[in-house]
Structure 1
């Protein structure tokens, strides 16, 4: 999912052949896919978030607090990390292929699966599983879906591919005009400036558009973070950040960012209205709580990015058969998991379990089912060309 699907190779500019894969990046990719499943399972049962199908029961303060912290924490970093990786390999890919081949490759590898989801998987999921469409039969509703333009918002989780495709094409056009990233040696003051810039840009957007606002199934309030991480990834390729950064520095920067974020988060919960169940200020607007939340998200994003890079590079740089199988099927899982996850959620509806327990169980079932469908069906079908 780093490039959904990711082109996880390194390359020197003007290299004549494709260098070895960075296996620790492949391992980050399938790990993030599991977090995507966990997020959508949490959306199903928690009082927060949006999803096709929700099965929300009355929850106590502790359960609501758990989901609020967990989902906010995940949202702050996991997709942004993937945009960083995608930017890194976009620079490498453009160097090898040039604009025309690069653009054609991205249109196929990102655009085609997004269209498959928008016209097939998404509508089937809504109509037969989440029951969010009207009456008249699937055929009638599908034609209405096309005629009224609703299909533009039917990207589901494939919004990531749609946004990444846009970023990639814009990046390719900029490179075609002659601009190229400079090799940057990453230093502490640059990290601080980057965090502040991310927080300020996010805050500025959320003054006009609250965090939950959706435009064609994309949240504009999150785009500054994603764009900056993609750009940082492209610069990181020139500076060889993926393998060249000192692990000690990554751990120090990551730990420092998270250490600063912890008391900030506590203050936001205590004084922002979270304890009273009032979350309006967190969503945006010109207020101190929204500004603090944007800063907290930037700290978590950068901090977790550094920690993930260091830990996976040190401890997860190889792949056995299981890890390779997970990596090979990661994008297939990302593409197909919504109907499978919702199907299991419907089966779990009658179980008398707490919301947190159900979310954990649903994550496990959706992971097993989605990886099985990807390996046994998708990768043996014509769709294997796009996953």
Structure 2
């Protein structure tokens, strides 16, 4: 099987970067799997935070403060790190395939699942949203044919796929231009290196500046639509981070970064940066709230805390997994093979379970455990035995 890497989050999910032709860097598999797993938990938890439930498809009366903390803190780094990993693996693929073949492969592996999910999976989320609000009578098929495509269509969690495809298209154009200007010379550096603290410090400051500009123009967590079309939604302030992290992944792969120069002290330092910046941002947002967007200095402080929390997470995850998890784990093999399918299919399954638990007066923590314990194996089974056997997705996932 050809080495189709994580740049597509597709077979993204099945192949690792290689240090040479014989040695596999397993830490990249586990790094990727951990982020996908945390995204799954994030979606399970969002409905049960008192502050986060209002951003979900519907609200549950039962809440817990730990869900607010987890959702807030993990939201700072989950998607940027997924874009980082995607950018890292894009380099090996485009060097092997060339720009045209690379982009065609990305279109197949990203856009086909996107269209499939938006047409057949995401409608379940919005249907249950309307049912929870009592604004629609029973009858899913009638809703799907009429109301969904006319009024409710949206990407939900699949926005990642078309944003990643756009980044891949930009990268392919830049790569092709470099090849033309350099007369076919490879973009890879001859001597591998590792990330340096000063470089990462400058990178963190640049991402903070980019977030400041985006927040000044569009707010901290607001969503926008491409040409006003609701199917293509994005968050301007977060996309500033995503662009930087995708191309940091590209640059790191070109330089041969493996994060192998870290130690336990480095992991502790990166984790401390993540923890301090996350807590600082929580306190900051609790103190200033909506007033942040009205002051340039408050926006800058917000952006710096957010940017360095994300950077701390990158250092902690990349160094920690390289240090302790650079070996195969047989127990995670099935998850690794299905992680892309799980990403595609999991949300309607867990939203359905959350809907079934509405109105049941039990602890939010118990509801979370039920949703996770049922939705996770169902998502794994749905990916392995359903999605991967469908003709339209068989050669994509």
TM-score where L is the length of structure 2: 0.82
Q: Secondary structure at the match of 2:61?
A: coil
SS of the equivalent of 1:385 reads: coil
2:300 is aligned with 1:300: no
- 1:16-68 Cα deviation digits (max 9, x unpaired): xx765432222222222221122112222223346553232165xxx34x333
Give per-residue Cα distances to partners, 1:261-291, cap 9 Å, x unaligned: 266336515632xxxxxx3235x44344433
Q: Which runs of 5 or more residues in structure 2 are unaligned?
A: 1-5, 180-186, 225-231
**Structure 1 residues 142 and 302: CA distance shift in structure 2, 3 A:** same
Per the alignment, residue 8 of structure 2 pairs with 3
Is the contact made by 1:2 and 1:29 (CA closer than 8 Å) also made in structure 2? no
Structure 1 residue corresponding to 2:243, chosen from 213, 227, 230:
227
Number of residues of Structure 1 aligned to a counterpart in Structure 2: 370
Helix, strand or coil at the partner of 1:186: coil
Q: Distance in 1 between matches of 2:239 and 2:286?
A: 27
Q: 2:46 matched to 1:43?
A: yes
Question: Using the alignment, how far apart are the partners of 1:96 and 1:247 within structure 2?
Answer: 33
CA distance in 2, matches of 1:362, 1:174: 44
Q: 1:84 to 1:140 in 2, by over 3 A?
A: same
Which of 56, 61, 78 is residue 57 of structure 1 equivalent to?
61
Is the CA contact (8 Å cut-off) linking 2:60 and 2:359 kept in structure 1? no
Q: CA deviation at 1:376?
A: 2.6
Alignment of 1:60-139 (within 5 A): 63-64=64-65, 66-127=66-127, 131=131, 138=140
User: Residues 199 and 291 of structure 1 are in contact (CA less than 8 Å); yes or no, is this contact kept in structure 2?
Assistant: yes
| 2:222 match: secondary structure | coil
Q: How far did 1:175 drift?
A: 0.8
2:336 alignment counterpart: 327
Pairs within 5 Å for 1:278-297: 279-281=289-291, 284-297=293-306
Question: Aligned in 2, Cα 1:202/1:320: closer, same or farther, shift over 3 Å?
Answer: same
Q: 1:344 maps to what in 2?
A: 353
1:268 correspondence with 2:273: no
- The 1:53–1:270 alpha-carbon spacing in structure 2 relative to 1, beyond 3 Å, is closer
Specify whether residues 245 and 114 from structure 1 end up closer, same or farther in structure 2 by C-alpha distance, changes over 3 A only.
Answer: farther
- Residues 357-377 of structure 1: CA deviation (Å, up to 9, x unaligned): 423432332212211221232
Q: Judging changes above 3 Å, is the alpha-carbon distance between structure 1 residues 375 and 103 closer, same or farther for their aligned structure 2 residues? A: same
Determine the C-alpha separation between the residues in 1 that align with 2:356 and 2:322.
39
Tell me if the contact between 1:24 and 1:313 (Cα under 8 Å) persists in the aligned partners: yes
The CA deviation string for residues 143-189 of structure 1, in whole angstroms up to 9 with x for no partner, is: 556875864xx221111111100000110011111164767753222
Distance change (3 Å), C-alpha of 1:136 and 1:266: closer
> 2 CA distance for matches of 1:202 and 1:285?
15
Distance 2:321 2:51 in 1: 30
For 1:341 and 1:305, the matched residues in 2 are separated by 28
Rounded Cα–Cα distance in structure 1 between residues aligned with 2:73 and 2:126: 28
CA pair 266-338 structure 1, distance change in 2 beyond 3 A: closer
Change (3 A) 1:186 1:324: same
Q: How much is the aligned-residue C-alpha RMSD, in angstroms?
A: 3.0
Residue 378 (structure 1) shift: 2.1
CA gap of 1:248–1:326, structure 2 versus 1, over 3 A, is same
Structure 1 unaligned spans of 5+: 273-278
Counterpart contact for 1:129–1:342, Cα < 8 Å = no
Q: Is the 8 A contact 1:26 1:327 kept in 2?
A: yes
Distance 1:211 1:263 in 2: 17
Normalised to the residue count of structure 1, the TM-score between the two structures is 0.84
